Structure 1
């Protein structure tokens, strides 16, 4: 498979989980918020408004659409960041940064409910209330991805060393239904954090207590 065809494959619903028509709507919806998010981050780093014309400076290694596609593929299939990077001919940290940019935008939209058009789960409370009302079994999982080792001398450097994976990782707690469909994705946390601590930190333990069946 050529590089072009490999990248084009991510448009397929088997990878991104969205029909092409819906993908077009999603791209249109998120382009503005992503641009505003990038500009806000740039303004914070430089300490003021831009001095050059918009669009000046180096181009992104991954354009917005590609960033969205790799994030959707990662959330759907949990493909390693390194594998996605190989498809695009970029470095793994580039893919990791792209996913960290796009995932919060998707999370703010909420997660779609199977066979319930228009219903979206935006909070943990929404997820557990939906599961209780519909009799849906939830599965909680901590997914770890390899990350670059923090620089020597950086505070909290050892926090990313996962005892289970024996490497530097970031951990994301996710909730899926019985068919493996993603209903919620939590914050990225250092790999050394134990799964049970992550569950308590995310508030999942409290929701389990409130919705115990």
Structure 2
């Protein structure tokens, strides 16, 4: 049985990036399809934080806001590597817990060793990468909003301006990409991240 549940309308929309991330990581999920009639009744809307979908269930945790869902999955399903160091003193009487760069955790083990779990993957390797990932993801969100305004408000009148301005909007991403490995790879870092 899948550990995740997506609660959303029968459309791609704001939840499609989470679906793509789940599929990319080989994870299973189930869908609770919300009809517009059910949504308009208001009960589900009243339960949803901010009164919006998508919703996402991970065990007892229920999240709303598509970017919060993406970041949750990125943190949860990054790759862990274990590095072991040996010390000259026993650690059995010493507790060493600290958080380093958000995802480097040092823990005490019995005996003479210390294990470091290093989080790598879907949300960057260090705080600067994570901040740049957030910035790029928010830039993608701005593009998505412009696209939705075009589609749902004034498609016929606005499509020429949208197409004309799209090149300038994408230049921001191209410029940022050119600063990372001369534009050969990813917007941030050297691995895929949740926004891609």
Output the TM-score relative to the length of structure 2. 0.24
Judging by fraction of residues, say which structure has more helix.
1
